[in-house]
Amino acid sequence: MSSGERRARSLREVVFVDGVRTPFGKAGPTGIYAETRADDLVVRCIRELMRRNPALPADRVDEVAIAATTQIGDQGLTIGRTAALLAGLPKSVPGYAIDRMCAGAMTAVTTTASGIAFGAYDVAIAGGVEHMGHHPMGEGVDPNPRFVSEQIVDGSALVMGSTAENLHDRFPHLTKERADAFAVASQQRYAAAVAAGRIGPELVPVATRSAEQGWGLASVDEPPRPGTTLEGLSTLRTPFRPHGHVTAGNAAGLNDGATGCLLAAEEVAEELGLQVGMRLVGFGFAGVEPEVMGVGPIPSTEKALARTGLTISDIGLFELNEAFAVQVLAFLDHFGIADDDERVNPWGGAIAVGHPLASSGVRLMTQLSRQFAERPDVRYGLTAMCIGIGMGGTVIWENPNWEGASK
């Protein structure tokens, strides 16, 4: 081949090796991470990934992509690079920060996975962090006045809870009663998963600091309310609209937490003796009207299915981010899936465990990977979420343990 000839490339299979997360905390001065830095949460995840995968030499990590929605303070300064250095990875390992609001970690995965498939990387770490106690969503933001003055979006598009109320308006059959029932089921499923030991092994204990109480150890999620009842939810106020539908009980809370995962080319994982938790099939992102951003996962899922040649009936497990119960219900109704379908969030979701914005995508993936290990009867699974300013994201995965693979 002459020096001027371009070498033909073939894409490589990308696998999800392992995922971890910190326990999720409640944002605010009394939360478990009130005096813990956001970047230290990420560092803890990176170190734990390397500890759990000793067959991976640190210098084989080719990239670290960490997402944050509010990239200032202790979750600014190109956090992918700074967290990699703080975690003790070689200085030769580069890193960067990424932002797609709630789908930050999801986008960190799809972006680095694309680089792996293309051959630019062999191994990457992707994840996200959000310390909403230190940095409330929108802190320091200066929206261009043209958004409202030129009616590019309605003012409600910039308030996520208001977009959920708009969704109730658009689909009046998605009642508050249905949303509350879904929320109660999320709490119950999460509690059952913890009791059965299904949620817990992926958690990374975090040393926490308090000037008054000294050092502590965060080892369990703080947000869940296992005693939640329909009666209790019916009495909660609706902060985004008088006599509305969205409450603190049928929506995810304000939370702090971080996630991280290892991705690799399948052939490299085999070479290094790394486990294969799941195989990337395809993904899709889509834009929708910002005023009803909760419908975003519908077109993103349709796009991902069309591009992979699959249908919704091929999907055996769904991990849907529960930013608001109503947006999950909109997705389920569109695809003809029952509110209580056992394939959907079998271990509960963000209404119970919390939603530290940019970190949540990798939580969904880590749970799906662990479910795949228990379910060889399932071939395909899906992780999806709505995204602020009117978007949706969907990633489809294949179970390497699928029993039909050997037939």
Decide: 266 and 123 in contact? Cβ < 8 Å.
no
* Residue 45 is among the residues annotated as catalytic for this protein: no
Q: What is the DSSP string of 289-310?
A: -GGGGGGTHHHHHHHHHHHHT-
Decide: 321 and 103 in contact? Cβ < 8 Å.
no
Decide: 91 and 29 in contact? Cβ < 8 Å.
no
* Buried b or exposed e, range 141-168, using 16+ CB within 10 angstroms: eeeeeebeeeeebbebbbebbbbbbbbb
Helix (H, G, I), strand (E, B) or coil at 379: coil
Amino acid at 53: N
Distance separating alpha carbons of residues 53 and 72, to the nearest angstrom: 31
Q: Containing H/E element for 381? A: strand 380-387
Question: Which one is catalytic: 102, 135, 168, 245?
Answer: 102
Decide: 156 and 289 in contact? Cβ < 8 Å.
no
Question: Which one is catalytic: 131, 134, 245, 355?
Answer: 355
First to last CA, the chain: 41
CA 314 to chain centre: 22
Long-range contacts of residues 145-153, Cβ cutoff 8 Å, at least 24 apart = 153/290, 153/291, 153/390
* Residue 386 is among the residues annotated as catalytic for this protein: yes
Take residue 321 and report the two structure tokens written for it: 């981010």
Question: Which one is catalytic: 131, 134, 261, 386?
Answer: 386
Which residues, listed in sequence order, are joined to residue 63 by a DSSP beta bridge?
124
Distance separating alpha carbons of residues 256 and 105, to the nearest angstrom: 14
Distance separating alpha carbons of residues 205 and 218, to the nearest angstrom: 6
CA 273 to chain centre: 27
Q: Which residues contact 76 (CB under 8 A, 6 or more apart)?
A: 68, 97
Q: How many CA atoms lie within 13 A of 85 on its CB side?
A: 10
Helix (H, G, I), strand (E, B) or coil at 245: coil
* Residue 102 is among the residues annotated as catalytic for this protein: yes
Distance separating alpha carbons of residues 171 and 173, to the nearest angstrom: 5
Which residues are catalytic, by number?
102, 355, 386
